[in-house]
Amino acid sequence: MSSSAMVTANQLIIMAELKLFRTSSSPFVLRVVWALDLKGIQYDNIFEDLSNKSSLLLQYNPIYKKVPVLVHNGKPLLESLVILEYIDEIWKQTPILPEDPSERATARFWAKFGDDKVLPSIWNAFIKQGKDQEEAIVTAQENLGCVERQLTGKKFFNGETIGLVDLAFGWLANLLSVFEEVCGVTLIDHEKFPLLLEWIQNFADAPIIKESWPPRDKLITRYQAFHEVYTSKEAPK
Protein backbone atom coordinates (compact mmCIF):
# COMPACT_ATOMS: atom_id res chain seq x y z
CA MET A 1 0.00 0.00 0.00
CA SER A 2 1.38 3.47 -0.75
CA SER A 3 2.06 5.61 2.34
CA SER A 4 -0.69 8.08 1.44
CA ALA A 5 -3.18 5.24 1.00
CA MET A 6 -2.10 3.89 4.39
CA VAL A 7 -2.63 7.29 5.99
CA THR A 8 -6.11 7.46 4.50
CA ALA A 9 -6.94 3.93 5.67
CA ASN A 10 -5.72 4.76 9.17
CA GLN A 11 -7.69 7.99 9.14
CA LEU A 12 -10.83 6.09 8.19
CA ILE A 13 -10.34 3.75 11.12
CA ILE A 14 -9.65 6.58 13.56
CA MET A 15 -12.49 8.71 12.23
CA ALA A 16 -14.90 5.79 12.58
CA GLU A 17 -17.47 7.68 14.57
CA LEU A 18 -17.02 11.39 15.09
CA LYS A 19 -19.93 13.63 16.04
CA LEU A 20 -19.85 17.30 16.93
CA PHE A 21 -22.67 18.71 19.04
CA ARG A 22 -22.77 22.36 18.10
CA THR A 23 -24.53 25.56 17.22
CA SER A 24 -23.85 27.42 13.98
CA SER A 25 -21.72 30.26 15.33
CA SER A 26 -20.69 29.82 18.96
CA PRO A 27 -17.08 31.04 19.38
CA PHE A 28 -16.19 27.87 21.23
CA VAL A 29 -17.82 25.58 18.67
CA LEU A 30 -16.14 27.27 15.71
CA ARG A 31 -12.69 26.57 17.16
CA VAL A 32 -13.39 22.87 16.98
CA VAL A 33 -14.98 23.11 13.52
CA TRP A 34 -11.90 24.94 12.21
CA ALA A 35 -9.47 22.48 13.78
CA LEU A 36 -11.28 19.48 12.31
CA ASP A 37 -11.62 21.15 8.91
CA LEU A 38 -7.96 22.23 8.81
CA LYS A 39 -6.94 18.62 9.40
CA GLY A 40 -9.39 17.34 6.79
CA ILE A 41 -11.31 15.23 9.30
CA GLN A 42 -14.82 14.05 8.47
CA TYR A 43 -17.46 14.35 11.15
CA ASP A 44 -21.21 14.55 11.66
CA ASN A 45 -22.71 17.86 12.76
CA ILE A 46 -25.45 17.73 15.36
CA PHE A 47 -26.98 21.17 15.71
CA GLU A 48 -28.41 21.97 19.12
CA ASP A 49 -31.17 24.39 19.98
CA LEU A 50 -29.75 25.77 23.23
CA SER A 51 -33.22 26.71 24.49
CA ASN A 52 -34.22 23.07 24.07
CA LYS A 53 -31.16 20.91 24.61
CA SER A 54 -31.25 17.35 23.42
CA SER A 55 -31.20 14.55 25.97
CA LEU A 56 -28.09 13.24 24.26
CA LEU A 57 -26.22 16.50 24.89
CA LEU A 58 -27.28 16.48 28.53
CA GLN A 59 -26.13 12.89 28.82
CA TYR A 60 -22.74 13.64 27.28
CA ASN A 61 -22.17 16.89 29.18
CA PRO A 62 -24.16 16.70 32.41
CA ILE A 63 -21.90 19.09 34.31
CA TYR A 64 -21.90 22.09 31.97
CA LYS A 65 -24.72 21.15 29.55
CA LYS A 66 -22.91 23.13 26.84
CA VAL A 67 -21.60 22.88 23.31
CA PRO A 68 -19.18 22.00 21.83
CA VAL A 69 -19.11 18.32 22.65
CA LEU A 70 -17.04 16.11 20.39
CA VAL A 71 -17.98 12.45 20.59
CA HIS A 72 -15.29 10.10 19.29
CA ASN A 73 -16.27 6.44 19.13
CA GLY A 74 -18.94 7.04 21.73
CA LYS A 75 -16.64 8.87 24.15
CA PRO A 76 -17.43 12.54 24.84
CA LEU A 77 -14.79 15.28 24.84
CA LEU A 78 -15.71 18.53 26.58
CA GLU A 79 -14.31 22.09 26.79
CA SER A 80 -13.14 23.55 23.49
CA LEU A 81 -9.44 24.02 24.33
CA VAL A 82 -9.26 20.49 25.78
CA ILE A 83 -10.92 19.22 22.59
CA LEU A 84 -8.35 21.06 20.44
CA GLU A 85 -5.47 19.38 22.30
CA TYR A 86 -7.14 15.98 21.85
CA ILE A 87 -7.66 16.56 18.12
CA ASP A 88 -4.00 17.54 17.75
CA GLU A 89 -2.86 14.41 19.58
CA ILE A 90 -4.98 11.97 17.57
CA TRP A 91 -4.63 13.52 14.09
CA LYS A 92 -1.03 14.54 13.46
CA GLN A 93 -1.45 16.29 10.07
CA THR A 94 -1.52 20.11 10.05
CA PRO A 95 -0.45 20.42 13.69
CA ILE A 96 -2.00 23.32 15.62
CA LEU A 97 0.43 23.26 18.53
CA PRO A 98 4.17 23.74 18.03
CA GLU A 99 6.59 20.94 18.91
CA ASP A 100 8.86 22.84 21.26
CA PRO A 101 7.60 22.61 24.89
CA SER A 102 8.23 26.27 25.75
CA GLU A 103 6.43 27.38 22.57
CA ARG A 104 3.55 25.07 23.49
CA ALA A 105 3.43 26.63 26.94
CA THR A 106 3.37 30.11 25.38
CA ALA A 107 0.52 29.10 23.04
CA ARG A 108 -1.49 27.67 25.96
CA PHE A 109 -0.80 30.85 27.96
CA TRP A 110 -2.26 33.13 25.28
CA ALA A 111 -5.23 30.87 24.58
CA LYS A 112 -6.02 30.99 28.30
CA PHE A 113 -5.50 34.76 28.42
CA GLY A 114 -8.01 35.08 25.60
CA ASP A 115 -10.68 33.12 27.42
CA ASP A 116 -9.99 34.36 30.94
CA LYS A 117 -9.35 38.04 30.23
CA VAL A 118 -10.00 39.23 26.67
CA LEU A 119 -13.39 37.64 26.06
CA PRO A 120 -14.97 38.62 29.40
CA SER A 121 -13.61 42.17 29.15
CA ILE A 122 -14.97 42.62 25.64
CA TRP A 123 -18.31 41.11 26.64
CA ASN A 124 -18.40 43.57 29.54
CA ALA A 125 -17.78 46.48 27.22
CA PHE A 126 -20.59 45.15 25.03
CA ILE A 127 -23.28 44.82 27.70
CA LYS A 128 -22.54 47.79 29.93
CA GLN A 129 -23.60 51.39 29.51
CA GLY A 130 -22.48 54.87 30.47
CA LYS A 131 -19.53 55.18 32.80
CA ASP A 132 -19.41 51.41 33.41
CA GLN A 133 -18.98 50.91 29.69
CA GLU A 134 -16.23 53.51 29.47
CA GLU A 135 -14.28 51.71 32.18
CA ALA A 136 -14.95 48.33 30.57
CA ILE A 137 -13.63 49.63 27.25
CA VAL A 138 -10.39 50.75 28.88
CA THR A 139 -9.85 47.28 30.38
CA ALA A 140 -10.74 45.57 27.10
CA GLN A 141 -8.28 47.74 25.20
CA GLU A 142 -5.50 47.05 27.71
CA ASN A 143 -6.06 43.33 27.22
CA LEU A 144 -6.17 43.74 23.45
CA GLY A 145 -2.91 45.67 23.66
CA CYS A 146 -1.21 42.58 25.15
CA VAL A 147 -2.61 40.52 22.31
CA GLU A 148 -1.50 43.05 19.66
CA ARG A 149 2.10 42.79 20.86
CA GLN A 150 2.07 39.02 20.35
CA LEU A 151 1.61 39.53 16.62
CA THR A 152 4.84 41.49 16.16
CA GLY A 153 6.64 40.11 13.12
CA LYS A 154 4.09 37.35 12.57
CA LYS A 155 1.26 36.73 10.14
CA PHE A 156 -0.59 34.50 12.57
CA PHE A 157 -0.06 34.00 16.31
CA ASN A 158 1.42 30.63 15.33
CA GLY A 159 3.79 32.17 12.75
CA GLU A 160 3.23 31.42 9.08
CA THR A 161 0.38 29.01 9.71
CA ILE A 162 -2.75 28.97 11.84
CA GLY A 163 -2.38 27.41 15.26
CA LEU A 164 -4.03 27.03 18.65
CA VAL A 165 -3.94 30.71 19.58
CA ASP A 166 -5.37 31.78 16.21
CA LEU A 167 -8.23 29.31 16.62
CA ALA A 168 -8.72 30.39 20.23
CA PHE A 169 -8.96 34.06 19.16
CA GLY A 170 -10.97 33.31 16.02
CA TRP A 171 -14.11 34.75 17.60
CA LEU A 172 -12.38 38.15 17.62
CA ALA A 173 -12.16 38.03 13.86
CA ASN A 174 -15.88 37.54 13.31
CA LEU A 175 -17.46 39.05 16.43
CA LEU A 176 -15.50 42.15 17.34
CA SER A 177 -16.84 44.27 14.50
CA VAL A 178 -20.33 42.92 15.19
CA PHE A 179 -20.11 44.09 18.81
CA GLU A 180 -18.79 47.45 17.68
CA GLU A 181 -21.64 47.91 15.23
CA VAL A 182 -24.37 46.78 17.63
CA CYS A 183 -23.33 48.97 20.54
CA GLY A 184 -21.88 51.82 18.51
CA VAL A 185 -18.39 51.89 20.04
CA THR A 186 -14.99 51.40 18.47
CA LEU A 187 -12.76 49.03 20.38
CA ILE A 188 -9.88 48.70 17.93
CA ASP A 189 -8.60 51.23 15.41
CA HIS A 190 -5.81 51.25 12.83
CA GLU A 191 -3.65 53.56 14.88
CA LYS A 192 -3.40 51.47 18.03
CA PHE A 193 -4.13 47.97 16.71
CA PRO A 194 -2.73 47.70 13.17
CA LEU A 195 -1.42 44.14 13.68
CA LEU A 196 -4.66 42.84 15.14
CA LEU A 197 -6.67 44.32 12.30
CA GLU A 198 -4.30 42.75 9.79
CA TRP A 199 -4.53 39.40 11.59
CA ILE A 200 -8.35 39.60 11.50
CA GLN A 201 -8.17 40.06 7.73
CA ASN A 202 -5.64 37.25 7.25
CA PHE A 203 -7.61 34.87 9.43
CA ALA A 204 -10.95 35.66 7.79
CA ASP A 205 -9.40 35.18 4.33
CA ALA A 206 -7.63 31.92 5.13
CA PRO A 207 -8.81 28.91 3.13
CA ILE A 208 -10.80 26.39 5.20
CA ILE A 209 -11.45 29.07 7.86
CA LYS A 210 -13.56 31.21 5.55
CA GLU A 211 -15.61 28.20 4.46
CA SER A 212 -17.07 27.98 7.97
CA TRP A 213 -17.42 31.72 8.46
CA PRO A 214 -20.66 32.61 10.26
CA PRO A 215 -22.80 34.97 8.10
CA ARG A 216 -22.48 38.50 9.46
CA ASP A 217 -26.15 39.43 9.17
CA LYS A 218 -27.14 36.49 11.38
CA LEU A 219 -24.53 37.54 13.95
CA ILE A 220 -25.80 41.11 13.94
CA THR A 221 -29.36 39.93 14.56
CA ARG A 222 -28.28 37.56 17.29
CA TYR A 223 -26.12 40.01 19.18
CA GLN A 224 -28.61 42.83 18.72
CA ALA A 225 -31.08 40.65 20.60
CA PHE A 226 -28.52 39.91 23.35
CA HIS A 227 -27.69 43.59 23.61
CA GLU A 228 -31.33 44.55 24.11
CA VAL A 229 -31.79 41.94 26.82
CA TYR A 230 -28.66 42.95 28.73
CA THR A 231 -29.02 46.70 28.43
CA SER A 232 -32.62 46.64 29.54
CA LYS A 233 -31.54 44.78 32.71
CA GLU A 234 -28.68 47.12 33.54
CA ALA A 235 -29.52 50.68 34.54
CA PRO A 236 -27.02 53.12 33.00
CA LYS A 237 -24.98 55.21 35.47
Q: Which residues bind other proteins (CB under 8 A)?
A: 63, 72, 75, 77-79, 82-83, 85-86, 89-90, 101-102, 104-105, 108-109, 112-113, 146
Is residue 83 within 8 Å of 72, Cβ to Cβ?
no
In the complex with other proteins, the residue whose CB is nearer, 76 or 197, is 76
In this structure, the number of other CB atoms found within 10 A of the CB of residue 146 comes to: 12
In the complex with other proteins, the residue whose CB is nearer, 88 or 166, is 88
Residue in 168, 182, 166, 170 with CA at minimum distance from that of residue 217: 182
In the complex with other proteins, the residue whose CB is nearer, 151 or 209, is 151
Distance of closest approach, residue 90 Cβ to other proteins, in angstroms: 6
Distance of closest approach, residue 211 Cβ to other proteins, in angstroms: 26
- In sign, the C-alpha dihedral spanning 52, 121, 198, 183 is positive
**How far is the CA of 231 from the CAs of 30, 110, 223, in angstroms?**
27, 30, 12
Distance of closest approach, residue 204 Cβ to other proteins, in angstroms: 26
Distance of closest approach, residue 89 Cβ to other proteins, in angstroms: 4
Q: For residue 85, how many C-alpha atoms fall within 13 Å in the half-sphere facing its CB?
A: 10
In the complex with other proteins, the residue whose CB is nearer, 166 or 183, is 166
